[in-house]
Amino acid sequence: MIRQFELVELVKAYDQGADEAALNGAYVFAMKAHGAQKRASGDPYFSHPLEVAGILTETYGIEHPWWQMAGIVLLGPVWLFLVLAAWLRDGTGFGRTMEKLDVWLRMLLVLGIPASVAYASATERLQDTPWIAGKLMILAAIILFGLIMRLRFQGFFAGAASLVADGPSADVDRRMSASLRRARPFWLAIWLLLLAAALMGVVKPGDVESVPAAAVAKYPSDSRVTDPSVATRIVLAP
């Protein structure tokens, strides 16, 4: 099991401001609460929440400045508003303005995401999780292909308008079919990219499955105590 002071160091390796007294108190409280409880394997039950706590020390994100976090949080609601407003007010001046803003936002993301990935890679912020860079690049590609599909679908929408206004004709059918053929490779590519992103999130290629480097350097894996009596003596030590 992870020793008491070892768990504290694991946490403080990524959060220097962590309350050491609170961490020690939680460790002691959990051990006293579970007492002599045993797991089905015969191991002390306390080993389970302790190992979970150790796992959680490894689950830490990438720090962002406040303005970047604000942009990340607001991106979804703002983008959703633009899309819904353009659709609900279609054909009006306001709807056309929202549609233009939506296109500009998508173009900004297509350019901004690769730039952000390049910066993060250059500064080694994604060194332990390079698969995140891959997923972000896939997102940029999906947005780009979506924009291209809009252009390829213009003939289809124009043909649909002619169909409503003038009725069916061989020329309208031909234009609509051609438009669908030009768009097909891109929507197929989008589905394949979505599957690739999902697979990448599961496999996490290149992911470093380890605790923060500072903690690893100080406490190698073979230093963990497996004898509960040793852990108990450490917990109750003054």
77-93 pLDDT per residue, tens: 999 999 999 999 988 99
Which candidate, 200, 229, 215, 231, places its Cα nearest to that of 16? 215
Q: pLDDT digit string (tens) for 167-219?
A: 888 888 999 999 999 999 999 999 999 999 999 989 888 876 544 444 444 44
Residue 139 has pLDDT above 60, yes or no: yes
Q: pLDDT digit string (tens) for 109-119?
A: 999 999 999 98
Residues 6+ apart with CB under 8 A from 107: 147
pTM for the whole thing?
A: 0.64
Instruction: Report the pLDDT value the prediction gives residue 61, as an integer from 0 to 100.
Output: 60
Instruction: Report the pLDDT value the prediction gives residue 217, as an integer from 0 to 100.
Output: 46
Instruction: Report the pLDDT value the prediction gives residue 16, as an integer from 0 to 100.
Output: 78
For range 95-105, the mean pLDDT:
95
Instruction: Report the pLDDT value the prediction gives residue 62, as an integer from 0 to 100.
Output: 67
3-state SS of the chain? CCCHHHHHHHHHCCCCCCCHHHHHHHHHHHHHHHCCCECCCCCECCHHHHHHHHHHHHCCCCCCCHHHHHHHHHHHHHHHHHHHHHHHCCCCHHHHHHHHHHHHHHHHHHHHHHHHHHHHHHCCCCCCCHHHHHHHHHHHHHHHHHHHHHHHCHHHHHHHHHHHHHCCCHHHHHHHHHHHHHHHHHHHHHHHHHHHHHHHHHHCCCCCCCCCHHHHHHCCHHHCCCCHHHHHHHHHCC
**pLDDT > 90 fraction of the chain, expressed in percent and rounded:** 38
Mean pLDDT, the chain, as a whole number?
82
Identity (one letter) of the amino acid at 82?
L
Residue 150 has pLDDT above 60, yes or no: yes
